[in-house]
Amino acid sequence: MIKTKKQGLLIVLSGPSGSGKNTICDELKKENTNIWESISMTSRKPRKGEVDGVSYYFVSAEEFEKNIKEDKMLEYAKFAGNYYGTPRGSVQEHLDKGEDVILVIEIQGALQIKKKLPQALFVFLLPPSMKELKRRLVDRNTESEEKVMERFETAYREINELSKYNYVIVNDEVKEAAAKLGAIIKAERCRVDRIEEVFLDTSEEKIHEILVDKDLENKRVDINKL
């Protein structure tokens, strides 16, 4: 009876560094083959082992700036002299195919997207505690103590943006957190505003006409004969 819109869902997943965004996204994609993870664009040079169109879309600074001027970026930022952002074209292409698109991005970028596409689904990922977040950052063993503390302090500020998101998930166990994200996506597909058309077949139309007839009390309906 219900025909839903073909357009896919745009899911924006954010959270403090160490909350497990990429891990949850990878787990979600194992169980959901209709999800495409957006690929970012950058003006920096490729590093060893990185592949254009897989790791990033690698472009020149001039080309990136041209995309900004032509409003071809959903969001972008500049770090250490290089641009990073989400190209609108590739995201729209997959959405138009009916695929759900997930963006794992920082809060700054997510809020830019919310201004342009408020209908997107915004999910905030939290660690089970700040103590656990600090442990995860330290256990990475990839940054100095000073850098770890900087990320930890940034996390406190980022959590204040929680109210600007639609949903929050606490990542205390990867599979359970990914399952919650999957459940949110399923629920969003059932929203009334995602219905394109409600239709009734011939028998249902006949029943409806009889039920709304003013002389209903004087009629006997044999549904099996309809």
Query: What pLDDT does residue 2 have?
Result: 59
**2-225 belongs to CATH 3.40.190.10:** no
pTM: 0.80
Instruction: Determine how β-strand 73-79 pairs with β-strand 82-87.
Output: antiparallel
Burial zone of 115 (CB within 10 Å; 0-12 exposed, 13-18 middle, 19+ buried) = exposed
Where residue 146 falls among pLDDT bands split at 50, 70, 90?
confident
CB 195 within 8 A of CB 4: yes
Where residue 211 falls among pLDDT bands split at 50, 70, 90?
low
Query: Comparing C-alpha atoms, which of 172, 206, 12, 151 is closest to residue 95?
Result: 12
Domain boundaries, the chain: 2-225
Dist CA 222 CA 219 (whole Å): 10
Place of tokens 């930022």: 77
For the residues 154-169, what does the mean pLDDT come to? 91
Q: pLDDT per residue over 48-73, tens digit each?
A: 999 999 999 999 999 999 999 999 99
Dist CA 169 CA 15 (whole Å): 10
Phi then psi dihedrals of residue 78, to 5 deg: -125, 125
